[in-house]
Amino acid sequence: MKLLTCVYIEAKKLFKSRIPIISLLALMLIPFIGGFFMFILKDPSLAESLGFISAKAQIMGRADWPSYLSLISQAISIGGIFAFGFISSWIFGREYADRTIKDLLALPISRTTIVLAKFLVTLIWGIFLSLLVLVLSLLVGYLVNITGFSTYLLFQAARAYMLSSLLTILLSSPVGFMASFSRGYLSPLAFIVFTLILAQIVATTGYGEFFPWSIPALIAVSIENPDIVLGSLSIWLVLFASGIGLLATIFWWKYADQH
């Protein structure tokens, strides 16, 4: 019961801020940008005549549903590292920035419960945003009228999309620790940028399946390239990194008075 009460309070704090609308608007760009790319790939000559691309521009890729859904999934995996991490950074960092941390720690509530409530709010809002992006992406794809749609593809792509989204959301737990450890927003945001860049570098070297922040995007790529198969070890690595972030945050908050 206390956990549900804390979740309600944390959600109320979140929705009194501008973070929900900022994160919503940021992720809502994904379907429209993806649809725009498909529009260009579908008819490059029309896009050129409308002034969207130049005559010298080289357009790579195919305008079909596998490519489109893979693009959307990769965008939520990469952009989600920043978007979901930003949400987690604010939820934890605001207590220090607003100087409410001492009042919060003085409440007769388990600090573990408070931390879990904060992470649950991040998880719930992240899942909602992911589902909204998926639904809107399907609508945009239908309006652009790209080819290659099938019920089987939709099922497989939606499963890969939600898995990559969920893993990306879970990877926001180390950001919560960084916000708590640094008592603010700057360090967690730097950590987000660092992991985002490192994820791209590691993926290009061919070892992305062993780096937690590269794994969600690789799952997204598998929609268009079924030959890419990640083992269960990759999933466990993401869960391990997320678990370490969660436990580290709980430990820090438990002994926050000593820091």
Predicted confidence (pLDDT) at residue 42 exceeds the cutoff of 80: no
pLDDT at 83: 93
What is the C-alpha separation between 178 and 245, in angstroms, rounded? 9
Q: What is the mean pLDDT of the segment spanning 115-143?
A: 95
pLDDT at 55: 44
What is residue 31's three-state secondary structure?
helix
Q: How confident is the model at residue 56 (pLDDT cuts 50, 70, 90)?
A: very low
Instruction: Please state whether 64 falls in left (phi above 0), alpha (psi between -120 and 50) or beta.
Output: beta
pLDDT at 54: 46
Q: What is the mean pLDDT of the segment spanning 146-162?
A: 90
In tens, the pLDDT along 200-214 reads 999 889 888 999 999
What is the C-alpha separation between 72 and 140, in angstroms, rounded? 11
Buried b / exposed e along 144-183 (16+ C-beta atoms within 10 A): bebeebeeeeeebbbebbbbbbbbbbbbbbbbbbbbbbbb
Predicted confidence (pLDDT) at residue 109 exceeds the cutoff of 90: no
Among 124, 118, 153, 142, residue whose Cα is nearest residue 224: 153
Q: What does the domain layout of the chain look like in residue ranges? A: 2-54+61-258
Q: What is the mean pLDDT of the segment spanning 135-162?
A: 91
Predicted confidence (pLDDT) at residue 62 exceeds the cutoff of 60: yes
